[in-house]
Amino acid sequence: MIKLFAPPRRTETVPLFPLKTVLFPGAALPLKIFEVRYMDMAKDCLKGGKPFGICLIREGAEVGVPAVPEPVGCLARIAECDVEELGVLEVRAEGLERFRIESTETTRQGLVVGEVERFAPEPEAPDAPGLAQCALFLRKAIAGIGPGRFVAPLRFDDASWVGFRLAEILPLRSDVKQKLLELTDATLRLAILEKFLRQQRLI
């Protein structure tokens, strides 16, 4: 009898930044950091070129007592940073891979640190139903918002990228955005967003 063993799960430890917003892979997010715990986190990430995790807050607030994060978030890297006023670090974070939190602990400073496992990349779906219509709407939306707000390259033929960008810019509730982040099927995510666009008569 042959016993099959599952490969060990690869986890890593990252500092978490719970916010009242959802970060998607490939998105740019401007942040103003002023709490000591997050200033130190940002400096450490910049020094070591390390990512941190952004999660939607499930319980609590952005400032003060450590908030309880949703179990799925998105890794981020600091692409740009500046100090325009004393005690405030202005950061442009860019979304990387999604992750699932396996466990958390809180440091003495009040920084939540998570043991996380990254999501596997989504398979490409160039023939996803509705991709052409959604991509056309997205092109127009990005032209109106300004391409500088988005992380290059712009991949209108990628169902995952188009779905994440629509989820990012459309006026959806935070809990809906969180569900779209957690989905692992790019075709299903795009179908949900296409239905919303049609209901709103945007396409």
Give residue-wise pLDDT tens across range 86-111.
Answer: 889 999 999 999 999 999 999 999 99
**pLDDT for the residue numbered 186:** 96
Mean pLDDT in residue range 131-138: 96
Domain interval for residue 150: 131-199
Cβ-based neighbour number of residue 58 at 10 Å: 13
**pLDDT for the residue numbered 40:** 94
d(CA 21, CA 23): 7
Both 137 and 112 in one domain: the answer is no
Note the Cα 83 to chain centre separation in Å: 24
What confidence tier does 54 reach under pLDDT thresholds 50, 70, 90? very high
Both 108 and 148 in one domain: the answer is no
Both 54 and 89 in one domain: the answer is yes
Cβ-based neighbour number of residue 192 at 10 Å: 19
**pLDDT for the residue numbered 125:** 80
Both 92 and 136 in one domain: the answer is no
**pLDDT for the residue numbered 2:** 54
Residue type, 149: R
pLDDT digits (tens, 9 = 90+) for 59-73: 998 888 889 999 999
Give 24's contacts (C-beta < 8 A, 6+ positions apart): 74, 95, 164, 165, 167, 168, 177, 181
User: In the chain, how many domains are there?
Assistant: 2
Q: Is the pTM of this model over 0.95?
A: no
Both 167 and 191 in one domain: the answer is yes
Give me the percent of the chain exceeding a pLDDT of 70.
Answer: 96
